[in-house]
Amino acid sequence: MKKNIHVVPYGEWWAVKMEGVHAPLSLHGTQEEARRAAVPIAKRLGTDVVIHRSNGKIRDRDSYGSDPFPPRDMKH
């Protein structure tokens, strides 16, 4: 099973962490900087980026893996 990449508050910083691993992969000054750092890792691993709020609750999730049930393109 692939491990998701999480963007989480880490004291005064935002951390990029791999699910199930205690130590952060990297630390950033803003949530957006951490999200931008997390995306290439998730793309390389074919997994999700899970973005948390400052209180630790999940705010958003972006998938970079293969989805067995991708959404239909409703634009065309």
pLDDT for 26 beyond 90: yes
pLDDT at 65: 75
CA distance 3 to 38: 13
- The half-sphere exposure of 31 on its side-chain side, counting CA atoms within 13 A, is 15
Question: How do the domains of the chain map onto residue ranges?
Answer: 5-60
Tens of pLDDT, residue by residue over 4-24, are: 999 999 999 999 999 999 999
pLDDT for 2 beyond 90: no
Torsion over CA of 13, 14, 16 and 18, rounded to 10 degrees?
Answer: 90
Tens of pLDDT, residue by residue over 30-75, are: 999 999 999 999 999 999 999 999 999 999 999 987 666 655 544 4
